[in-house]
Amino acid sequence: MGPVRRKLGVAGSLALASVALLGQPAAATTSLSIDGSYFSTITKPDWQGTRCPSGEGDECGVFELVGLGPADYVYVYGPTFEPNGQRGCFDIDGTFAITLRSDGSRVSGPLLGVFCAPGESANQLGTPAYGGPHSEHDTIAFAGGTGAFAGLSGAVAFDKREAGAESRGTLTGTLSASTTLASH
Q: Which residue has the higher pLDDT, 144 or 26?
A: 144
Q: Where are the domains of the chain?
A: 26-181
Instruction: Tell me if 158 sits within 8 A of 96, measured CB to CB.
Output: yes
Kindly report the number of other CB atoms within 10 A of residue 134's CB atom: 20
Pairing assessment for the beta strands 69-83 and 26-41 based on DSSP bridges? unpaired
Predicted pLDDT at 129: 56
Q: Is pTM beyond 0.85 here? A: no
Q: Pick one of 1.10.3470, 2.40.160, 3.10.20, 2.60.120 as the CATH number of 26-181.
A: 2.40.160
18-58 pLDDT per residue, tens:
333 333 334 444 899 999 999 988 766 555 556 677 778 98
Distance CA 125, CA 103 (A): 34
What pLDDT score does 124 carry? 54
The residues facing 110 across adjacent strands are 95
Query: The dihedral of CA 74, 80, 86, 89: what is its sign?
Result: positive
How does the average pLDDT of the chain come out, rounded? Answer: 79
